[in-house]
Structure formats: structure tokens, C-alpha cells
Amino acid sequence: MIALCDFLTWLFSWVYRIVFFWILHTFIPLRKGIPLRILAFFASSMFTSVIVYLNDLPNILLPLFAFFLYVCIFHQGKMTEKITTVLIFYPIMISVNFLMQNVFSQIFFAVTNAPAEPGPGWTDTDWLLSSALYTLSHLTRLLFWIGTSRFLKEPLHQIRFNLSAKMWMIVDSIITVSAVYHDMKNHLLVLEGSQGTEATRQMAQELRAQIADYEDYIHTGNDFLDIIIKDKAEKAREKHIDFSAAIDIGGADFIEPLDISTLFGNGIDNAIEASGKLPEEQRVIEVKAGRVNDFISILIENNCVEGQAADKAGKHRTTKADSFLHGFGIANMEKTAEKYGGTCTTRQEDGKFTLKILIPLRKKS
């Protein structure tokens, strides 16, 4: 069965490369010559499966530069058209690749107790499920690009003839501005902490505050949770913590508002507190929540100080003086999860603390 999954993965991967290649040269035509086009196909296959992880600048820029060279060498068109091609297709390509791996990885660890690293701790069932989900991730990616090719066939073919040179430049500018938006906020943080004049730091603070005012709120599918996440995001920003949240808990209305506050509020507060003890470049909090099969899955991860105290069960212990009261945080989350038939587990390893909550969805009568 694993061998069959491996074969299907290989097949789906190559069909995906063909579909992506076809969509690309529909948007911007290839140079003439059969040998050149065959070479172009194999050249494009080298970066279509690239997976870029967060905060990995070298692996973001190198494939981007390779993709730009590929478009310049093998495709016709003006330079503005080639730049637009790169700015449109590259982010979508790497985002879909990362999303497919991340989603199916989360599914795997949500339904198994397998260790994070493949090895002796994995059972035969774990290996089989891993292979099956990996194959399914490639199939899902393929179906995405097939759907894209069907719905955008005519628009992609006609767009080159309907946009003037100035319009191409406007499109490039909009895409570029959105791409550097996050980096600009980081640069402002550096200015705030620099050794420059007080006026420089104050100006950077004012600019960053104005940018924050235009950020979209995170819509979680729960109005009460929207307010909580907005408040926690602001607190994290005040402490220069890189806070990201991907949350969609629509269908979890059976969880009472106070319990929502207990599950998310306590977990994020603990993560903010732990992050505040680290250098600014290590302050990262990720919150993910959504429906996984018939469960609501909540995952809160943050970097933490190595050697932080843990009990025999591997659970987090506070370093506060009022540890008796503060210790009720995770205990309350455990009781709240159990109230809905769920579980709350924690793990600390390699300088990262992970809080994971699983709550079964209630079937509608």
C-alpha cells in the first residue's frame, strides 16, 4: 500500500508540473522552438515544488531569483509583464506548496500519537497514514491548479492585451507594496530600538502605530473570540512579539463565551509572558485553530527559555512567586476542555512550548 501511495505521489507531482507549466505559458507566452520549450518545462519543474518556511529569507529569495531568471530566459514579453508574472505566480506557488504540507501534517498529528520526528517510535499504521496523507496533499494541490486553469483560462490569455504599460506598472506596485508590508513593520521596530536620536525613535513609533490602525481584524467565526484575539494581538505588538493567528472556529457556538476566554485567553497570556523573557528576535507566537475532522483543534506555540521548569508529566510550571494562583491557568484550560469531552496537552522541547486542545464537535439534533 505504501508503494502504491509513493507511485501516486510521483504521478500527481508530474501532472501538477505539466498543469502549472501550461497555466504559466498561457499567461505569458514561451519563446519559439521545440527544444527550447522542452528545456523550459524541465527548468520550471525544478522550482514548482519548492516549500518555503516562515522567516527563512534565503529560501525565499533564491527560488524567487531562479523563477525570475527562468521567466526572462524562456518567455516572451516586456519586462513589466515578466515582473508581474513573477509577483503573481511565485507567491501563489509557494503558498499552496506550504499550505498543503502544513494542513496535512496537522491532520496527521491530530489523529495519531506519533513522535514529531519519523523514526523507531512510529508504528506501521503511522507510516501508512503518513504516506496516504502525503499522497492526498499532492492530489489536492493538483486539483487546485486544475481548477485554476479552468476558471482563469480566458482571463489569463486576454490580460496581456488589455493592460497598457502604465497599468502593468500599477499592478506591479500594488503587489510589491503588499509583499514588503510585513518587512516595513519589522524595519520600524529596528528603528525604535536603535541608538539613533529620540526624534527618530518617536517617528518610527508613530508610523508603526498608524500602520497598525489599517490592519484587518482577524475574523475567527466567533464574535467574542474576535475581541479576545484583537486584544491579545495588541498586547503582543506592544511587547514587540511576532504574533500570528489563523483561526476559523465556525460551528463551535456550543462553547460558552467564558470558556472561549479560558481556552484562548489563558493560553495566549502564558505565551506572551514566556516570550517577554526572550530577546526580541526570538519572540514568536503562533495560534492556529479550526475544524479537523469532527474536532475543534486549538494549537498555541511560542518560543521559551530552555530549562523552564516542568512537572513529571511534562506540563508547564510557572516561575511566578504566586505560582499557586497562576498555576490554575492550565488547570482551568484542562477542566474546560474536559467539560466538552476534550483534552488539553502541553509539550516543551527544543526551546518551544506547545499547547494543544482538542474538543469534539457536537452533532446537531
Give the lowest-confidence range in 77-91, 136-150, 157-171.
157-171
CA distance linking residue 51 with residue 343, whole number of Å: 32
Distances (CA, A) of 103 to 26, 97, 100, 273, 290: 29, 10, 5, 28, 11
The pLDDT tens digits for 226-240 are 888 888 888 898 899
The pLDDT tens digits for 85-97 are 888 788 888 888 8
**220 touches 247 (CB < 8 A):** yes
pLDDT at position 26: 79
What is the edge-to-edge ordering of all strands in the sheet holding 242-247?
242-247, 284-292, 295-303, 352-360, 343-349
pLDDT at position 171: 46
Name which residue leads in pLDDT, 145 or 214.
145
pLDDT at position 316: 44
For cell 491548479, the residue is: 145
Task: Report the run of H or E that residue 29 belongs to, with start and end.
Answer: none
pLDDT at position 332: 85
* Residue 66, pLDDT above cutoff 50: yes
pLDDT at position 202: 63
User: Residue 23: is it exposed, middle or buried by C-beta count within 10 angstroms (0-12/13-18/19+)?
Assistant: middle
In the 8-state DSSP scheme, what is residue 278?
S
Residues paired with residue 352 on neighbouring β-strands, in sequence order: 303, 349
Residues paired with residue 214 on neighbouring β-strands, in sequence order: none
Q: Which of 264, 279, 185 has its CA nearest to residue 222? A: 264
- All three cell numbers of 279, joined, read 530577546
pLDDT at position 231: 85
Report percent pLDDT > 70 for the chain. Answer: 71
The pLDDT tens digits for 15-45 are 999 988 888 887 788 888 888 889 999 888 8
User: Residue 101: is it exposed, middle or buried by C-beta count within 10 angstroms (0-12/13-18/19+)?
Assistant: middle
CA distance linking residue 42 with residue 260, whole number of Å: 50
User: By three-state DSSP, how is residue 347 classified?
Assistant: strand
* Residue 111, pLDDT above cutoff 70: yes
Neighbours of 262 (CB within 10 A): 19
pLDDT at position 309: 41
How much is the average pLDDT of 127-137?
A: 90
Average model confidence (pLDDT) across the chain: 76
**141 touches 96 (CB < 8 A):** yes
- Vertex 93, ends 87 and 99: CA angle to 5°? 130
pLDDT at position 101: 80
CA distance linking residue 357 with residue 335, whole number of Å: 11
Amino acid at 342: G
The pLDDT tens digits for 335-356 are 999 999 999 998 888 888 999 9
pLDDT at position 172: 47
CA distance linking residue 14 with residue 139, whole number of Å: 11
Q: Which of 208, 204, 201 has its CA nearest to residue 237? A: 208
φ/ψ (deg, to 5) at 51? -115, 120
pLDDT band at 315 (very low <50, low <70, confident <90, very high): very low
CA distance linking residue 152 with residue 23, whole number of Å: 9
Give the lowest-confidence range in 162-176, 188-202, 217-231.
162-176
DSSP letters along 215-277, please?
SPPP--S-HHHHHHHHHHHHHHHHTT-EEEEEE--TT-TTS-HHHHIIIIIHHHHHHHHHHTT
* Residue 69, pLDDT above cutoff 50: yes
pLDDT band at 11 (very low <50, low <70, confident <90, very high): very high
The model's pTM: 0.45
pLDDT at position 89: 83
The pLDDT tens digits for 96-108 are 888 888 888 888 8
User: Residue 4: is it exposed, middle or buried by C-beta count within 10 angstroms (0-12/13-18/19+)?
Assistant: exposed
* Residue 162, pLDDT above cutoff 80: no
Give the lowest-confidence range in 63-77, 173-187, 273-287.
173-187
pLDDT at position 153: 59
